[in-house]
Amino acid sequence: MRRVPTLPTAAAVVAAVVVLCVAFTAGVAATPDAGSVAATSDGGPTAPGAAPSASAEECDAGDGTELVGCWNGTHYEDSVDFAETDGLNETQLAALTDLTMARVEHVRQRPFREDVPVETVARSEYLNDTASGNGSEAFRRWNDQVWEALFVVGEGTDANSEIDSVFGGAVSGFYSPSQDQIVIVVPDGESPDIDPSTLAHELLHAMQDQYHDLTDPRYVGATQDGDLAVDGVVEGEAVHVEERYAARCDANWTCAEAPESDGEGGGDQEFNFGILQTVLQPYGDGAVYVGELRDEGGWAAVNETMNDPPASTAEVIHRNPDYEEGNVTFEDAATDGWETYADQGVGGAETAGEASMFVMFWYQSLEYRNAVLDPDATVRENVQIHLDAEAQLQTRASYNYAHPVTDGWAGDELYPYRNGDRDGYVWATEWQAEADAAAFRDAYVRMLTAHGDAEYAAGTVYEIGDESEFPGAYGVEKDGTSVTITHAPSPAGVLELRPDADLALPDADDGTDSDGTDGGDGNTTDGDEADDGDENTSDEGGDGSDGSDDGDGGSTEGSTPGFGVPAALVALVAALALVARRTV
């Protein structure tokens, strides 16, 4: 994956398009026509935006850049004369690259314009080069608040290090648009050991660069959601081509065997699965989106979308190029020394987006055993929501990022604040309908109370104790289609950040908060809190949400023999293939 603004990784150093995906070698079979493409130059009509492939007779040595399915005299129906890619010498690497380029041309029905150099780098060198010493202190502090707001990286944990743990161990190759070359990460002290699918994926990125110029600013989103959205088509097309490539290998091509893991790219390494599953979203949803574009309008439709990339992950998740966003209303009214980071993000703000919000709620089940997405289901069933994707991929696991608590996303702006050594944030979110806003607010309150000890009182600042990874005070306000979340170390800090908030301080015996507003019955400004906001999050407490073995722990063990919560985690790790057996 290319660098997301909030993910300052090695990819930022080399301005690379990185393969970050999950091996799924025992995957679901592709659809019968997944690898079907035009075979010869006179083989009949082709889809819009496509070019027919050359015959073997037409594929003579020479540049032949106008031919499809032929590179440096190698035809896409040829085969390499070595069974595995273990320990390739320079001659074998060049032969494998020429054959893979010819085959990518055939599958994509478009010729490369020039050669693509392929280099290798030892994993230890890659890790040293990509350790995130990059990023100012201000950025790192700002970014910590972004991931803490998503309840993925706890207070006191460096988000940048957590991100490095994902990218450093998961990347097996990348294409650098600034250097016009592919770099394959190989085990220390060994000859190049290349997964042909990784090579095909990165070569497709090189082709994209030759036609669309991936250094163009439109291919780097200004926000986390924007960058993941752009990757929905950039990585989506690469995975879609890889899927069709794999189908041809299964059907009638002789393809080199994929190498075994180098033992350093994930086998013994721990990952933050919240970050991992966030950055994986474009590789699954994007591939399905691109597949639908191609089915409906041929490669021409994919080219058009590359020229005008998606603006939000919601567009990719719901495969709707006309997805409408709303206007997020936010005014900085903070007092008592609180200030935003004007030079970070977009005017100090990050946009998390639908994909990140879904992962936020789902991660509570995986990491903290809290049923947040669906409080009436077990923790195991909440974990499974993410694993049950309608569309299946052959080359990697596919995941679901759609759920009613986040489906109605229409925009969000997350503003980290600082005040001396104190940190906080205000997160303004907008939803397509009041019911969507209520669903999000309800799920968010479930998440809060799962980390706290008390029930939630609508209209009152909620506190989470220091024993949690996310301690401090939280204010949740719903006003029509808007939900605003405020976090500070103390309840008073919440009202310093949002002095006009209709929120009471906790433990106010007379029902009046510190600024004289009536805490009363806890209703918020839209008047619907008494009905849809009185979550009474005891439904989480009874579900074992405090991490105890009470409630859901027992029901999970009984619901599916041998597949309790610990087994669910093991199953997820297995599905992720311990991350990055192959990355693109």
Q: Note down pLDDT in tens along the chain; length 584 residues.
A: 223 333 333 333 233 565 543 332 222 223 333 333 333 333 334 566 678 999 988 887 655 678 999 999 999 999 877 655 557 788 888 999 999 999 999 999 999 999 999 988 888 888 777 665 557 899 999 999 999 999 999 999 999 989 988 887 667 789 999 999 998 887 776 666 677 888 999 999 999 999 999 999 999 999 999 999 999 999 999 999 999 999 999 898 988 777 765 444 444 557 899 999 999 999 999 999 999 999 999 999 999 999 999 999 999 999 999 999 999 999 999 999 999 999 999 999 999 999 999 999 999 999 999 999 999 999 999 999 999 999 889 888 899 999 999 999 999 999 999 999 999 999 999 999 999 999 999 999 999 999 999 999 999 999 999 999 999 999 999 999 999 999 999 999 999 999 999 999 997 544 444 343 333 333 333 434 434 444 443 333 334 333 333 334 333 333 222 333 444 444 444 444 333 332 34
pTM, 2 dp:
0.82
Q: What are the φ/ψ torsions at residue 274 (nearest 5 degrees)?
A: -65, -45
438 vs 477: CA distance, rounded Å: 10
Q: Are 46 and 38 in contact (CB under 8 A)?
A: yes
Instruction: Round to whole Å and give the CA distance between 107 and 266.
Output: 30
Q: How far is CA 220 from its chain centroid?
A: 15
Q: Residue 297 and residue 292: Cα distance in Å, rounded?
A: 8
Nearest to 384 by CA among 368, 396, 371: 371
Q: CA separation (Å) from 187 to 95, 126, 169, 259, 529?
A: 21, 10, 11, 11, 57
Q: What is the dihedral of CA 401, 406, 410, 415, to 10 degrees?
A: -100
* Number of neighbouring beta carbons within 10 Å of residue 332: 14
Strand arrangement of the beta sheet that strand 472-479 belongs to: 339-340, 409-419, 422-431, 482-488, 472-479, 462-464
Tell me how many degrees the CA angle 159-162-166 measures, rounded to the nearest 5: 135
74-75 and 472-479 as β-strands: parallel, antiparallel, unpaired? unpaired
Q: Are 149 and 427 in contact (CB under 8 A)?
A: yes
Instruction: At 56, give phi and psi (nearest 5°).
Output: -60, -35
300 sits in the region (left: phi over 0; alpha: psi -120 to 50; else beta) called alpha
